[in-house]
Structure 1
Amino acid sequence: MTTSSPFPTPPTKKMQNDEKSSLISPALSTMLLRLAVRSPPPLRPAMSSILRKIVELASNRPPSAAAGGAASAQPSSLGDFEKLPVDVLVQILRLLGPKDAMRTSLVCKSWRSLVSDDRLWIWFLDEECPNQPRESIFFAETHLRHGYPIQTVPSEVPELSFMSMYSQRAQVPGAVIIDGGSGYCKYGWSKYDRPSGSSATFLEFGNIESPMHARLRHFFATIYSRMQVRPSMQPIFVSIPICHYDDTESAKASRRQLKEAIYSTLFEMNVPEVCAINQATLSLYAAGEISGISINIGFQATSIVPIMRKVGVEVTGLGALKLTGFLRELMQQKNISFESLYTIRTLKEKLCYVAADYEAELCKNTEATYEHPVEGSFTLSRERFQTGEILFQPRMAGVQTMSLHQAVALCIEHCHDAELNADDTWFKTVVLSGGTACLPGLAERLEKELHGLLPPSISSGIRVVTPPFGANTAWFGAKLITNLSTFPGPWCLTKKRFRQKSRFNLW
């Protein structure tokens, strides 16, 4: 008893004499058969059905109609595959995978032209990075590939070959990413979707009375130990926390000293290449921008940093710790007991938000409950939006400082008056970063306040962007760079280049 195969059968000599099946060569049928066999067992019935339809389509399709358009007017060396539509051939190349597709491009010019189809390699990029938005990859490859500081303006987008881009990205070595943070740091591999761990930031690691160099060495050695890698094996990308970000000479000296200490420590540990960039810049890149204003709501303070050229930086005394402390006071006033500040921080992240209209929100029933896995149930009402309100009304918490929207408006006015660029809209993109910046409603409220505070000639077009990757926005900005097709070349320093910069005081 014979059983019929679920896959297309290669043509026999008798079939080749048949006029209808003469369009299907043994090479084409064999390739289709291999594609069906290589598919996972659960998908083989569906795959065989699809391939049968392809065979029928090719059998009934005249050769002149296969390629269509300009391609049919030129001589082709695709052989019997020319009888298939281009879209079908692209689907077959997808099934082959990027390595086999790359090998196919070496056969002849016709195959190379087909394999070079951008749609194919964009699809491969999506498959390779399923959790990374396609737009962010294109942004990085068009604007960040030449290193820091950014030289290319958005209107000067270079032409890209997506096949070459994919090939180059596949050869980029993995890098260690450490996002310094102002409260705690995140670390992980550049090929991972998210940070793999966290620890105290290197500014507060170990004995704070120890010299900076000793603390940094202890910090980096601990991270390498946790990741179970040797420092000499791969580049490292360090996100420098936003601190001392005013324009005084002492602040500039502190920034330079910290950056030099990071490079010096890592090169002493035999790290081959190092890149260290501040969090504000990385957050802007993660949002798909190369210029704008980056607002980092850090652990102790909030920094408003314009990213383009040196413009006065505004700093307010409102940080995540202040919001957490204010929520603790509100809960103590209602005799709500808790065990630690970590519990308060969790409640802030789970229940709190920023009201669009504070006075109107006071008249609403805003009660909500969160079930803590250890301490049980917590119910908050007005505390939910009063916590975030101190960003706009700091006197509610007894803090004498500029509110967030006032500090941002002042920074925007400075950027407008400086006239650094013919394009006076570069500072109208405001990107939020930091865990507290993820509070629901914060971006909308800040945008509303800025439009009400600034004159229409300046406020028109201002948009506030929420942290695109939550609390890990700066880490993802570093991930964009470390996966570039040109990394680490234009971004990292080697030990030799570091010594040259230090020798000539080029920091």
Structure 2
Amino acid sequence: MALLLRKVWGSVLTRSGSTSSSGSRSIRSSSDLGEDPNSSMGAFDLIPTDVFMQILRLLGPREAARSSLVCRAWRALVADNRLWIFFLQNGKEPWDCVVFAETHLRGGSPYLTYYGHTPQLSFMRIYAQRAVIPGSVIVDGGSGYCKFGWSKYSSPSGRSATFLEFGNIESPMYARLHHFFSTIYTRMRVKPSSQPIIVIIPICHCDVFQGKVMREIGVEIVGQGALKLTGFLRELMQQRNMNFESLYTVRTIKEKLCYVAVDYDAELRKDTQALCQIPGEGLFTLSKERFQTGEILFQPQMGGVRAMGLHRAVALCMDHCFNAEIVSDDGWYKTVVLAGGTSCLPGLPERLEKELHKILPPSMSEGVKVLPPPYGVDSAWFGAKIVSNVSTFIDAWCMTKKRFRQKFRRNTSGRTW
């Protein structure tokens, strides 16, 4: 660092000698960064601010932080948000994810801060806090695939077929869940008590915090996951006397051929036949089954399920959010971002958006848009990754085992299990 500054200083002296008479030289002043006018960097005041900032960028975050210990003027210069935004933009995490996390997830309640007043942030402090956040174990226990890995990784490090290996975890049993998590921890070679753990798991047919979250924020459970769709496709194939070895074969066919019809009635009149070659199984031909499989998301009765359709559940969530009056602007709940393996079915975003515009009143349907999963089947895992890397993760989001047990006892006191 000293060598670099000496070279720059020599260049500045040479340039200042040739331009001092013309008065065209730009000299850094204490008012440039809003620091104390009485503080000074001595002869380094002659270095233009943009040149000094470029030097700090080349040094990197560690050396730049050490430079802040030189004096008060250097500390004010190093603490400039522009410098640390540059370091964060060139880090491993996407910059838009960092901004969203640090402005809306710091308090642990995103819906309370989404349109609230955002305090002035020190990105130097944020960078330092994010650097020491411990790695978390993220387990996305989808009913189709389980994705797991460390929060510091760029993507999940392992995957497994959830139902084929662990059974149905949509309606969880303690023994099944215990086997599920112990297997994941063994594969990751980690002790559950040694670091934070984030779990994403579909839990159907039960209340969420005794219904409080439903009323305040808008949470509805449909009970139609990847396992239900795969099972329905199996029934359709069996009706046509199609032979297959296992549910894994059916799932593979679903992923390759199935889609969601934007207009179901119109799709019935089309020729939708398609072929799928499964190694070791042979050639399979599907026609109407391709879009009938995904149709049970909107017409559950087709699959013998007594539940509301996906579009009605989302509309009900929007109504809950509208009535909650969390913020004056009602646009915050009108963007629907899909996540999970089933949400990757082609045509689902378009169909859901179309159905929402049909059933919602004009005052609520205007501006509604449905976005496909931004990270494909791993979108839920990446969402947990964003949360686990926020600078206030430990204090705002984590709960110790002791505190969890105490809270669980309070919530279940007086109830019979």
**SS of aligned partner of 2:25:** helix
Per the alignment, residue 154 of structure 1 pairs with 115
CA 1:329 to 1:421, structure 2 compared with 1: closer, same or farther past 3 Å? same
CA 1:471 to 1:206, structure 2 compared with 1: closer, same or farther past 3 Å? closer
**Which of 325, 337, 340 matches 1:431?**
337
Instruction: Answer whether contact 1:328 1:344 (CA < 8 A) is retained.
Output: yes
Amino acid at match of 2:154: D
Shift of 1:196: 1.8
Per the alignment, residue 103 of structure 2 pairs with 142
Instruction: Answer whether contact 2:130 2:391 (CA < 8 A) is retained.
Output: yes
Per the alignment, residue 309 of structure 1 pairs with 216
- String of CA shifts for 1:393-426, please: whole Å, max 9, x gaps: 4455555544322343344445545666655445
CA 1:504 to 1:409, structure 2 compared with 1: closer, same or farther past 3 Å? closer
CA 1:217 to 1:369, structure 2 compared with 1: closer, same or farther past 3 Å? closer
**SS of aligned partner of 2:396:** coil
- String of CA shifts for 1:471-501, please: whole Å, max 9, x gaps: 3333223222221212212322234434543
Select between 112-121 and 321-330 the one with higher mean Cα deviation.
321-330
For residues 502 and 398 of structure 1, the distance between their equivalents in structure 2, rounded to whole angstroms, comes to 35
Instruction: Answer whether contact 1:314 1:408 (CA < 8 A) is retained.
Output: yes
Shift of 1:342: 1.8
Per the alignment, residue 234 of structure 1 pairs with 195
Are residue 222 (structure 1) and residue 186 (structure 2) matched? no
Structure-1-length-normalised TM-score: 0.65
Per the alignment, residue 258 of structure 2 pairs with 352
Aligned pairs, how many? 404
Amino acid at match of 2:74: W
CA 1:58 to 1:338, structure 2 compared with 1: closer, same or farther past 3 Å? farther
For residues 366 and 245 of structure 1, the distance between their equivalents in structure 2, rounded to whole angstroms, comes to 38
For residues 245 and 226 of structure 1, the distance between their equivalents in structure 2, rounded to whole angstroms, comes to 30
Amino acid at match of 1:244: H
Instruction: Answer whether contact 2:28 2:48 (CA < 8 A) is retained.
Output: yes
Instruction: Answer whether contact 1:369 1:378 (CA < 8 A) is retained.
Output: yes
For residues 13 and 287 of structure 2, the distance between their equivalents in structure 1, rounded to whole angstroms, comes to 66
Instruction: Answer whether contact 2:137 2:150 (CA < 8 A) is retained.
Output: yes
For residues 91 and 374 of structure 1, the distance between their equivalents in structure 2, rounded to whole angstroms, comes to 60
Are residue 478 (structure 1) and residue 378 (structure 2) matched? no
**SS of aligned partner of 1:346:** helix
CA 1:68 to 1:399, structure 2 compared with 1: closer, same or farther past 3 Å? same
Shift of 1:352: 2.8
Shift of 1:112: 2.6
**Which of 105, 117, 121 matches 2:84?**
121
**SS of aligned partner of 2:116:** coil
**Which of 65, 69, 72 matches 1:102?**
65
- String of CA shifts for 1:212-259, please: whole Å, max 9, x gaps: 655555444333221122334322223343323447xxx94xx9xxxx
Amino acid at match of 1:221: S
Instruction: Answer whether contact 2:217 2:324 (CA < 8 A) is retained.
Output: no
Structure-2-length-normalised TM-score: 0.77
CA 1:120 to 1:344, structure 2 compared with 1: closer, same or farther past 3 Å? farther
Select between 214-223 and 437-446 the one with higher mean Cα deviation.
214-223
- String of CA shifts for 1:339-381, please: whole Å, max 9, x gaps: 3322332232233322333344456665655555555665655
For residues 246 and 193 of structure 1, the distance between their equivalents in structure 2, rounded to whole angstroms, comes to 34
Per the alignment, residue 12 of structure 1 pairs with none
Per the alignment, residue 54 of structure 2 pairs with 91
Instruction: Answer whether contact 1:66 1:72 (CA < 8 A) is retained.
Output: no
| Gap runs ≥5 in structure 2 | none
CA 1:370 to 1:92, structure 2 compared with 1: closer, same or farther past 3 Å? farther
Instruction: Answer whether contact 1:58 1:84 (CA < 8 A) is retained.
Output: no
- String of CA shifts for 1:37-57, please: whole Å, max 9, x gaps: xxxxxxxxxxxxxxx9x9998
**SS of aligned partner of 1:137:** helix
Per the alignment, residue 9 of structure 1 pairs with none
Select between 450-459 and 353-362 the one with higher mean Cα deviation.
353-362
**Which of 477, 481, 492 matches 2:398?**
492
Are residue 389 (structure 1) and residue 292 (structure 2) matched? no
For residues 150 and 33 of structure 2, the distance between their equivalents in structure 1, rounded to whole angstroms, comes to 47
- String of CA shifts for 1:439-490, please: whole Å, max 9, x gaps: 1221121111111222212212222232233333332232222212122123
For residues 331 and 349 of structure 2, the distance between their equivalents in structure 1, rounded to whole angstroms, comes to 19
Instruction: Answer whether contact 1:61 1:83 (CA < 8 A) is retained.
Output: no
Taking the TM superposition and a 5 Å limit, the aligned residue runs for 1:281-430 are: 309=216, 314-316=220-222, 318-331=224-237, 338-361=244-267, 372=278, 375=281, 380=286, 382-397=288-303, 399=305, 401-413=307-319, 415-416=321-322, 422-430=328-336
For residues 472 and 243 of structure 1, the distance between their equivalents in structure 2, rounded to whole angstroms, comes to 20
For residues 377 and 344 of structure 1, the distance between their equivalents in structure 2, rounded to whole angstroms, comes to 12
**SS of aligned partner of 1:430:** strand
Q: RMSD across aligned C-alpha pairs, in angstroms?
A: 4.3
Shift of 1:332: 5.4
CA 1:328 to 1:58, structure 2 compared with 1: closer, same or farther past 3 Å? farther
**Which of 349, 371, 394 matches 1:465?**
371
Shift of 1:170: 0.6
- String of CA shifts for 1:4-50, please: whole Å, max 9, x gaps: xxxxxxxxxxxxxxxxxxxxx976454799xxxxxxxxxxxxxxxxx
Amino acid at match of 2:376: G
For residues 155 and 481 of structure 1, the distance between their equivalents in structure 2, rounded to whole angstroms, comes to 19
